[in-house]
Structure 1
């Protein structure tokens, strides 16, 4: 482990948010397939979700050989994936009574889609998408689609819809801390592009 890195999230302690993330009690089991390029990425948000959801399993890779454990779990039934595929159903109106565990894919849209296309077992799972996704507030990382959400935002909305009884405040606190620390460690000129316009001409 390089000096200055957090041993839990593997990013520099200046932008680590583990101290701002509290565990969420009663959350369902979650799986995350993480593209290797996202491991230790300073702007990645899966580390927030992992800190708030200690029961979540993260598997890093791209091909079926990388996801042996979760693909075996998939064959047992009761596992569904949150991914906007051509066959996916809107989560807001779908019957998900048979779903016991959820899987998300962590990566840029291009890399997440590559994981999806490279894993037939994944495409065989029931898949769901958000019919009306919330607006993303994660302004420190650009997304190619208007309806894109950061991974932690997608997990938070997934749990809002499927387990409304949960207190998801820790996920929001973790995301707020991540944005704040990312902006604080940016050069002034770079920060200007990520802040909302100011009414007094400042930023």
Structure 2
């Protein structure tokens, strides 16, 4: 299918209009602030879930990183209580207070790794490491990293760990609905 033949996309959730999730996006209130750093190459991808997660989280900010975008204000990364959601690296001590702000890297595995290499402030942050995904987790494709999952799935799991399953449930439902709609249609268009 050529680009000209693809159905128009929703400007808000970035999915094809017939798959649009906007009416289903909940407003989830969290104590934790989420700072999503989206790799510039992810912004136009239909498979991107960072944008949907940012729409669902009342306490979230989405920033584009890389390419010709303006430089990231790294002071956002040095706010007290800031952690990084990342599967590798130094984890926070077990007795550390819960994060006030959680930085989430939105991109594929190699993009996320490059962001941590290019932004020294990220490397200094304590890490929130999620347990590996459960077998049978709804996915559109197999991840390139053993702990890999969509940004929306990772955020839902982080919210469950930090604030409880009840707070995370609307995000989990949204992630499952997104995968189901795309799978039923058989396309990301």
Q: Where does the alignment leave 5 or more consecutive residues of structure 2 unmatched?
A: 1-6
Match of 1:11 in 2: 15
Q: d(CA) in 2 for partners of 1:98 and 1:169?
A: 20
**Residue 30 (structure 1) aligned with residue 29 (structure 2):** no
Match of 1:55 in 2: 59
Is the 8 Å Cα contact of residues 30 and 163 (structure 2) preserved in structure 1?
A: no
Quick check: which has more Rg, 1 or 2? 1
Is the 8 Å Cα contact of residues 135 and 149 (structure 1) preserved in structure 2?
A: no
Match of 2:134 in 1: 135
Change (3 A) 1:177 1:40: farther
Structure 1 vs Structure 2 CA RMSD: 2.5
Q: Deviations over 1:29-82 (max 9, x none)?
A: 1001111111131112223312321321011113896321xx212233221111
Q: Where does the alignment leave 5 or more consecutive residues of structure 1 unmatched?
A: 188-203
Change (3 A) 1:173 1:112: same
Q: Deviations over 1:7-29 (max 9, x none)?
A: 32233212221211211134421
Is the 8 Å Cα contact of residues 138 and 150 (structure 1) preserved in structure 2?
A: no
**Residue 158 (structure 1) aligned with residue 162 (structure 2):** no
Q: Deviations over 1:152-200 (max 9, x none)?
A: 111111111111174222112211221122112226xxxxxxxxxxxxx
Match of 2:71 in 1: 66
Q: d(CA) in 1 for partners of 2:61 and 2:80?
A: 17
Is the 8 Å Cα contact of residues 59 and 66 (structure 1) preserved in structure 2?
A: no
Give secondary structure in 1 for the equivalent of 2:144.
coil
Is the 8 Å Cα contact of residues 51 and 62 (structure 2) preserved in structure 1?
A: no
Task: Report the TM-score when normalising by structure 1.
Answer: 0.77
**Residue 82 (structure 1) aligned with residue 85 (structure 2):** yes
Match of 2:116 in 1: 116
Give secondary structure in 2 for the equivalent of 1:59.
strand
Q: Which moved more, 1:24-33 or 1:152-161?
A: 24-33
How many Å apart are 1:141 and its aligned residue? 2.6
Q: d(CA) in 1 for partners of 2:98 and 2:174?
A: 30
